[in-house]
Amino acid sequence: MNRHQRVHIIFLLLIIFSMIRCGPTPVEKIDFIVSFNDTINDRVGYKNLNGIIIIPPGKYLRCFTDTFKTYAIVIKEHTGFVAIDRQETVLYEVFPFDNGPDEPSEGLFRILVDKKIGYADSLTGKVVIKPQFDCAWPFENGVAEVSTDCKTQADGEHSVWVSENWFYIDRTGKIVEKPLTTTLK
């Protein structure tokens, strides 16, 4: 074995020793709980990754959020769709749409506080645009059509929003000009 080979072997041994001694690089702390179904009673709850039940099955009528990081959308009896934090504090109601909670559009979903509509971030659950609108459509092409003085009018078995004062907002809630081309509504 020549000197060059010995240097390579020593170098490899040092690398292996440092990897064993130092161990793997620390990984970000995993901090979430997941929904699970109690198939015997047909109820849903949340547990941590060790299998410990954090929110017992049946506390909420239904859990819509599979992976509960900072907030989850659940059905609370006598209230409807709500967003809760990890302490189970109700943050706000979630706008009901098509027999379920509002679906995120462009990263935002509609929320309700005191019957006014606003928007929350779908990743964090944080309110992005405070509830202030009587009617508000989902975001599309960077804008949402909203009104502060609309009425709900029956249209057969459905209902429609009627207003003379629709306007557009951007993702920060700032009023913007009507888009040149839009497929809203």
What pLDDT digit, counting tens, does each position of 33-91 carry?
999 998 888 899 999 999 999 999 999 999 999 999 999 999 999 989 999 999 999 99
CA dist 129 and 113 (Å) reads 12
| pLDDT(30) > 80 | no
d(CA 16, CA 22): 10
Lowest mean pLDDT among 16-30, 50-64, 71-85, 167-181: 16-30
Query: How far is the C-alpha of 161 from the C-alpha of 144, rounded, in Å?
Result: 14
Determine the pLDDT at residue 23.
47
118 φ, ψ (degrees, to nearest 5)? -140, -165
pLDDT at position 98 over 90: no
The pLDDT, as a whole number, for residue 9 is: 63
pLDDT of residue 158: 84
Q: Which pLDDT band holds residue 24 (cuts at 50, 70, 90)?
A: very low
Q: Which pTM was predicted?
A: 0.78
Q: What is the 3-state secondary structure (H, E, C) of the chain?
A: CCHHHHHHHHHHHHHHHHHHHHCCCCCCCCCCEEEEEECCCCEEEEECCCCCEEECCCCCCEECCCEECCEEEEEECCCEEEEEECCCCEEEEECEECCEECCCECCEEEEEECCEEEEEECCCCCEEEEEEECEECCCECCEEEEECCCEEEEECCEEEEECCCCEEECCCCCEECCCCCCCCC
Residue 161: its pLDDT value, please?
A: 93
In the predicted model, what is the mean pLDDT of residues 120-134? 97
Domain boundaries, the chain: 28-176
